[in-house]
Amino acid sequence: MHYETKILHEGGDKDPYTGALSIPIYPASTYHQKNVDVRQEFDYSRSGNPTRAALERTLAVLENGSHGYAFSSGVAAITAAITAVCSAGDHIVATRDCYGGTYRLLTKYLSRLGITHTFVDTTDIAATEHAITSATKVLFLESPSNPLLRIIDFTAMTALAKKHSLITMLDNTFLSPYLFRPLDIGVDVSIHSATKFLGGHSDLIAGAVVTKNGEIAAQIYAVQNGTGNMLSPENSWLLLRGIKTLRARMEMQCAGAMELATWLSKQSWVTKVYYPGLADHPGHETIRREAKGFGAVVSFTADTIERTRAILQHVRIWTVAVSLGGVESILSYPAKMSHAAMPKDERDALGISDTLIRLSIGLEHTEDLIDDLKSSAEIKS
């Protein structure tokens, strides 16, 4: 069976109890135990719920894994994956330009529990190897990175992890499993903010973790059940519904992103475009080799701060907001949104300037998105 068919028909396509084509929402907290001597599949909904179980089977199919777990947010998923395998004294090597919430989790919370970290430019293999110590347990990767869409050489990174017996985790939110399946190339744990492309409709917060390592899977389940950070049946249903159109959305949103990036690169007021689909992007060849597409997020810098402000103020179709991956296009301003907590000199060092804008392309007609950007950019304040 092809992947596109599998993601609709393996995992969560029909309710095993009624045949319903849409998996019902089972809100039950508890389940009648017919015979207390026989363990049944469901006994309490923190430990297991039929709606969440259907979603979790689907997540495993999406990532070509054997075990999927659904969490109350992407950050909860990252926390569960890391704490499933790390204890006090363990060390993590992580992508320097990782998601802000991952940065906060490592620096403010896990460090307090004795789990230490080193941030490194994971596009630099030698620097990454240099950061590994005898205490290193996990290589935590994120790519394409946010907001500059830097691409890691995934194959080189998994080889490096194998050499040092590290567990590799990859935050695969930006590409989605439709475009890239990290477990296929030897990553141990794939993680998502399902809030973004998996959900796809800007209407829920959710997270996912998938692995095909049975031992790690058991540890992740122990954290999910033991700390109670699982996804609700209602949101599990909503996420299952969103995933059904993942293929269609990703195909169209990627096509729109390519059109937009190409158009931006020809505008005199645009000083730089960051999109791995463009041939001059340093990660272009890598992502072309490893993934089915380049994603639907494009960043660019404008020539002046005034023009950046004009765009932020005057766009009408683009929603000025944080987040990404929905069917409505979103325009974000990293300097005041995702990276506002970072001091300006550190932002500048990473290349996150005050004229940088990040776009998440949705399903509107590309011409309307372009016209909106173009006319906003031309308004003089």
Which residues are catalytically annotated?
A: 46, 99, 171, 196
The one among 52, 67, 196, 249 contacting ligand PLP by CB under 6 A = 196
Nearer to ligand PLP by Cβ, of 50 and 233: the residue is 233
Check binding of 242 to ligand PLP (CB under 6 A): no
Check binding of 99 to ligand PLP (CB under 6 A): yes
Residues ≥6 apart with Cβ < 8 Å to 111: 117
Check binding of 337 to ligand PLP (CB under 6 A): no
Check binding of 95 to ligand PLP (CB under 6 A): no
- With beta carbons less than 8 A apart as the criterion, state whether 154 and 143 touch: yes
Q: For ligand PLP, how many residues bind (rule: CB under 6 A)?
A: 15
Check binding of 75 to ligand PLP (CB under 6 A): yes
Check binding of 56 to ligand PLP (CB under 6 A): no
Check binding of 97 to ligand PLP (CB under 6 A): no
The one among 195, 229, 329, 332 contacting ligand PLP by CB under 6 A = 195
Check binding of 238 to ligand PLP (CB under 6 A): no
The span of 37-45, 168-176, 238-246, 282-290 binding ligand PLP (CB under 6 A) equals 168-176
The one among 45, 73, 224, 229 contacting ligand PLP by CB under 6 A = 73
The C-alpha angle with vertex 241 and arms to 239 and 247, in degrees rounded to 5, equals 95
- Least Å from the CB of residue 374 to ligand PLP: 27
Check binding of 173 to ligand PLP (CB under 6 A): yes
The span of 2-10, 54-62, 192-200, 329-337 binding ligand PLP (CB under 6 A) equals 192-200
- Least Å from the CB of residue 240 to ligand PLP: 17
Cα distances from 319 to residues 42, 66, 308, in angstroms, run 42, 37, 15
- Least Å from the CB of residue 9 to ligand PLP: 27
- Least Å from the CB of residue 239 to ligand PLP: 11
Query: Closest CB to ligand PLP belongs to which residue?
Result: 74
The one among 24, 66, 101, 156 contacting ligand PLP by CB under 6 A = 101
Cα distances from 190 to residues 15, 232, 276, in angstroms, run 26, 21, 21
Residues 120-159 that bind ligand PLP (CB under 6 A): 142, 146
x-marked contacts with ligand PLP along 286-305 as a string, rule CB under 6 A: --------------------
The one among 68, 182, 200, 207 contacting ligand PLP by CB under 6 A = 207
Residues that bind ligand PLP (CB under 6 A): 73-75, 99, 101, 142, 146, 171, 173-174, 193, 195-196, 205, 207
